[in-house]
A and B are shown apart, each in its own frame.
Chain A
Amino acid sequence: MMANADFPLESASPIAGGVRRVALDPLSRVEGHGKVTLLLDDAGHVWQARLHIVEFRGFEKFIQGRPYWEVPVMVQRLCGICPVSHHLAAAKALDHVVGADELPPTAEKLRRLMHAGQILQSHALHFFHLSSPDLLFGFASDAARRNIVGIAAAHPEVARQGVLLRRFGQEIIRLTAGKRVHGTGAIPGGVNRALSPAERADLLAGIEQIIAWSRQAVQLVKRLHAADPELYDHFGTCRSSLLSIVGAGGVLDFYDGRLRARDADGRVLADAVHARDYAGLISEEVKSWSYMKFPFLSAIGPREGWYKVGPLARVQNCEAIATPMAEAERREFIAHGCGRIVHAPLAYHWARMIEMLHAAEAIEDLLHDDELSGSELRSSGARHHEGVGVIEAPRGTLIHHYRVGDDDLVTMCNLIVSTTHNNQPMNEAVRRVAQRYIDGQELTEGLLNHIEVAIRCFDPCLSCATHALGRMPLVIELLDASGRLVGRLAGAPDALSSGGGS
C-alpha cells in the first residue's frame, strides 16, 4: 500500500522505530462516532494525529425516491442539536423547486425568527452546557465535575442563564415550527402557520432579559481571553481560509445571502457567489484514512484551499452586524486581531457569543414586526427541477441540494454539513494540540481532554456529520507498535445528559 509522506496510512504495517498508536474511541457507537488516533513513537513524540469521523451518508440515499414536500421534515433527523437548520436549508432549496423565489414577508420573517431561535438555543448549549466546564475549571481539571452539573454547583448563575437562554430559543422554535423538536413550520414555498399577537407578546416579555444575559456571556468569554491570552490565542491555532454566506450589504446573516471566501490574511477570494454555484466554489477530496470528505476552495486546491466555517469565519467575513450591541462587540473582536484574521480555535467561543447576542437582538426586532402575524404564508410559481439551499447553521455553512422529477419525487440529494467543511481545520487543531501538550507526556485523561476541547471549539459533538445526539464520549486505547493493547482510558461522561437533550 502507498502511504504519502504527509499522511501515512493507518493500516500500514508498524513503522520502523516502534510506533505506539493511541486511539480515542467513543463509547457509544450507536449514534455515530468520531475517533482520534495518535501515533506515538518510542520516545512518546506525536508522530501523527488524526480525527476520524464516520460520516453517515445514508440519508442522501434514503431521501431519493421520496416526495419533495416530505424532505424538510425528514432531514431534521440529521442532527440532534440543530434540526431546524436542516429543516430550513431543505425548505429553501425546495422553494426554488416550487417556483417560490420570493417568499411573502410574513413567511420569510417567521423563518428568520425560527432560525434565530435555533442559533440562540444551539449556541447556548454549545457554550454553557458543553464548553464552559472546560473553560471555567480548566482542561485537565477533575473530570467528575467537568460538566454542567459541576458548573451549576460552582457557578450557579452561569449555569442558570445557560439553561434559560437555551429554553428561550427552544420556545421560539416550538411556536414557529409547531413543536420543540422536529416541527413542520417551514414548507416548500413558505410556512404553515403565523405567530399570533399574543404569542409575540409572550416572547417579547422575556427578550430583554435574554439580551442582557447574552451580553454577559460575551463579557464572560472576554474575561477568559484576557486572563490567559497565551492559551486563548495559541491553543491549536491554525491558519486557513474562511467561508460563510454574507447578507445584503455585507452584514452578518444566518438565514440568507451569498457565499464569500477570504484567505488566511483576510483578502476576499470569492464573493457574491450564489448558492446554486457552490459546486464551482468548492470541491471535496477523499482521503484513504477517513470516511469523511475534505472540502477545499477549488481555486486554491486541496493542499492550501481548506477553510473554516462557523462563528469565527462569519464574524470576520462580514463587514458589519446589523444590531448595535453585537456590532460593538464585533469591532472589539476585530480590534483584538490587530488587523490580522483571528485563527485561534478558542476564539470560536468569543465569536459564538457575539452571534448569540446578535440573534437575541434580532429576535427582539422581529417580534416587534406585525408582519409576523400576517396571513400570506406561501407563494409559488413555475416549477424547477433543481434547487440549492444554503444557510448558516450554528456550526457553519450548510448546503442542501436536490433534484426533483416531474412526478414530485427527489432524484438526487447532496448535503454538505458544517462538520464536513471544518474537517481539515479540526484535524489541524487536533494535531497541533497533540504535538504541543501530549508530546513526550504520560497519557492522562486531562491531556486527552485537551483534544476534545480543540474539537469542541468547532463542534460539540460532530453530530451533524454522524447524526449523534450531542455526545462525544471518548475511549482512549493505547496500542504498541505490534498493535497490542497496552492501556485504556475511559473518556468524558455524557456531557448532555444533564442539559436536557433534545
Chain B
Amino acid sequence: MNTPTLLLDGLPVPFSAGQTIMEAATAAGVFIPHLCHHPDFKPQGSCKLCTVKANGRYVSACTMPAKDGMEVENDSPDLNDKRRTLLQMLFVEGNHFCPSCEKSGDCLLQALAYELEMLTAHFAQFYPDRPVDASHPDVLLDFNRCILCELCVRASRDVDRKNVFALSGRGIGKHLIVNAESGRLADTGFSLADKAAHVCPVGVILAKRQGFLQPIGQRRYDRQPIAMQFASLPGSGGNGPEA
C-alpha cells in the first residue's frame, strides 16, 4: 500500500491517515508558525498564525486534515507577510514589554516575532489596562500578555478537570477570566502542579518568585531559533516551555 504524501513547499511529506497538515509537517521536521496549537491538545484553529495555502486556498494547518497529493505552500513571502501582520496586531493589543518580561527567551510570541523578522509593531499601541492577579500564593497571572490562545482553558478543562479559565466577551473586548465568583485565582482549586500552569506560550501564567533565576541568554529560544528546533528535533513540536 502506498503511504499518503503531501507536497510541502515542494518537499514530499508522508503522513498517516487522520493527521493534520501541522502534524505531518512537524513529524517531518518542518516548522509551521503557530500559537494556539499544541501537540497535547485538540486543535482549535483560532490564532491563524498557521495559515498555509493548500491547493491554492488559505487554510489553518493545525485543523486541516492532510490529503494525499495535496500541495501546501508554507514558507512563502506572501504567507509570512500575513503572519507578521497578525503578530503585530497581537503585540499592540496587549502590553508586551520584552526587555523586562521574565518570559523573554522562553516566549513563543517573541520567538515567532524573531523568526518572522518583525522589526516594529507597525500599528498604534492599545495600552490596555489589565491589572495582574497576584492572589494565588504560588502563581501570578499577568493578563497584559494574554493572546487568547485558550491553551490554559483546554488544559484546565480537559486534563486537570478543573475548568479554572475561560474566555469572556466578544471581539476586541474578549478576555481571559478566572472561573470564580470573586474572579480571583486564589478562590479556585488551581495549583502550580496543574497542567494549565505550564502551557501558556507567553508570560501570563507564571510561577511566582522564579522570574529571572534562569539567566537571559541561556533560555530555550536564546539557544536556537524556533524553526531550527523543529528541524533538529522532528516529532517534538512543543509549544510553550520545555517542562
A: residues with CB less than 8 A from B are 65-67, 69-70, 72-74, 76-77, 98, 178-179, 182-185, 187, 192-193, 405, 407-409
Q: Which of B49-57, B84-92, B132-140, B157-165 contacts the other chain?
A: B132-140
Inter-subunit contact A178/B215 (CB<8 Å): yes
Give B contacts to A, CB under 8 Å: 99-100, 102, 131-132, 134-135, 140, 142, 206, 208-217
A178 / chain B contacts, CB cutoff of 8 Å: 215-217
Q: Which residues of B contact A409 (CB under 8 A)?
A: 132, 134
Contacts of A183 in B (CB 8 A): 216
How long is the Cα–Cα vector from A331 to B15 in the complex, in angstroms?
80
Determine whether the beta carbon of A179 is less than 8 Å from that of B214.
Answer: no
Query: Which B residues are CB-close (under 8 A) to A179?
Result: 216-217
Further pairs besides A69-B209, A98-B209, A409-B134: 12, Cβ < 8 Å: A65-B131, A67-B140, A67-B142, A67-B206, A69-B211, A70-B211, A70-B212, A178-B217, A183-B216, A192-B212, A193-B215, A407-B134
How close is A483's CB to chain B, nearest CB, in angstroms? 36
9 contacts between A and B (CB under 8 A): A66-B132, A67-B206, A69-B209, A70-B211, A72-B212, A73-B100, A178-B215, A187-B212, A409-B132
Contact between chains at A187 and B132 (CB < 8 Å): no
B99 touches A67 (CB 8 A): no
Query: What residues of chain A lie closer than 8 Å to B206, measured between beta carbons?
Result: 67
Separation of A184 and B215 alpha carbons in the complex (Å): 6
B132 adjacent to A65 (CB under 8 Å): yes
Residues of chain A contacted by B217 (CB below 8 angstroms):
178-179
Interface centre among A74, A98, A405 (most CB of B within 10 A): A74
Cα–Cα, bound, A98→B211 (Å): 14
The CA-CA distance from A72 to B99 in the complex, in Å, is 12
Tell me which residues across on chain A come within 8 A of B100, comparing CB atoms.
70, 73-74, 76-77, 182
* Count of CB-CB pairs between chains A and B under 8 Å: 59
User: What is the bound-complex CA distance between A119 and B102, given in angstroms?
Assistant: 27
Could you tell me if A67 and B212 are in contact, using CB atoms closer than 8 angstroms? no
Q: Which chain A residue shows the least CB distance to B105?
A: A184
Of all A-B residue pairs in the complex, the 6 with the closest CB atoms, nearest first, are: A69-B211, A407-B134, A74-B100, A184-B212, A178-B215, A73-B100
Give every chain B residue within 8 A of A65 (Cβ-Cβ).
131-132
Residues in chain B near residue A73, CB distance under 8 A: 99-100, 102, 211-212
The residue on B at minimum CB distance from A181 is B99
Contacts of B215 in A (CB 8 A): 178, 184-185, 192-193
- Which residue of chain B has its CB nearest to the CB of A191? B215
Select which of B209, B214, B216 is within 8 A of A408 by beta carbon. Answer: B209
Distance (whole angstroms) from the CB of A461 to the closest CB of chain B: 20
A187 to B209, CA, bound (A): 10
* Closest Cβ–Cβ distance, residue A188 to chain B (whole Å): 8
Report the nearest B residue to A182, measured CB to CB: B99
Q: Would you call A408 and B102 a contact (CB within 8 A)? A: no
Query: Closest CB of chain A to B138's CB: distance in Å?
Result: 10
In Å, the complex CA distance between A178 and B215 comes to 7
CB distance from B207 to the nearest CB of A (A): 11
Whole-angstrom distance between the Cβ of A47 and the nearest chain B Cβ: 44
A409-B133 Cα distance, complex, nearest whole Å: 10
B125 CB, min distance to chain A CBs, angstroms: 15
**Shortest CB distance A75–B (Å):** 9
Most chain A CB within 10 A, of B135, B206, B210, B217, is at B217
Q: Shortest beta-carbon distance, B234 to chain A, in Å?
A: 31
Give Cα A179 to B99, complex, Å: 11
CB distance from B160 to the nearest CB of A (A): 23
A71 CB → nearest B CB, Å: 9
CB distance from B105 to the nearest CB of A (A): 10
Q: Which residue of A lies closest to B214 (CB)?
A: A192
* CA gap between A84 and B132 in the complex, in Å: 27
**Contact status A187-B213, CB under 8 Å:** yes
Residue of A nearest to B186 (CB): A407
Q: How far is the CA of A69 from the CA of B140 in the complex (A)?
A: 12
B208 and A67 contact, CB distance less than 8 A: yes
CA distance A72 to B211 in the complex (A): 11
Whole-angstrom distance between the Cβ of A4 and the nearest chain B Cβ: 41
Return B237 CB to nearest CB of chain A, in Å.
29
A114–B216 CA distance with the chains assembled, in angstroms: 16
- Bound-complex Cα distance A308 to B106 (A): 44
Quote the shortest CB–CB distance from B206 to chain A (angstroms): 8
Residue numbers in A under 8 Å from B209 (CB-CB): 69, 98, 408
B99 to chain A, nearest CB (A): 5
For B132, what are the chain A residues with a Cβ–Cβ distance below 8 Å? 65-67, 409
The smallest beta-carbon distance between A354 and chain B, in angstroms, is: 34
Tell me the minimal C-beta distance from B153 to chain A in angstroms.
23
B145 to chain A, nearest CB (A): 12
Are A69 and B212 touching (Cβ within 8 A)?
yes
Identify the closest chain A residue to B217 (Cβ): A178
Q: In the complex the two chains form, what is the Cα distance from A235 to B62 in whole Å?
A: 72
Q: Which residues of B contact A187 (CB under 8 A)?
A: 211-213
Residue of B nearest to A72 (CB): B212
Would you give the shortest CB distance from B186 to chain A, in whole angstroms? 9
Tell me the minimal C-beta distance from B124 to chain A in angstroms: 17
The chain B residue sitting closest to A193, CB to CB, is B215
A184: chain B residues at CB < 8 Å are 212, 215-216
Compute how far the CA of A338 lies from the CA of B195 in the bound complex, rounded to whole angstroms.
72
Known: A65-B132, A183-B216, A408-B208. A70 touches B102 (CB 8 A): yes
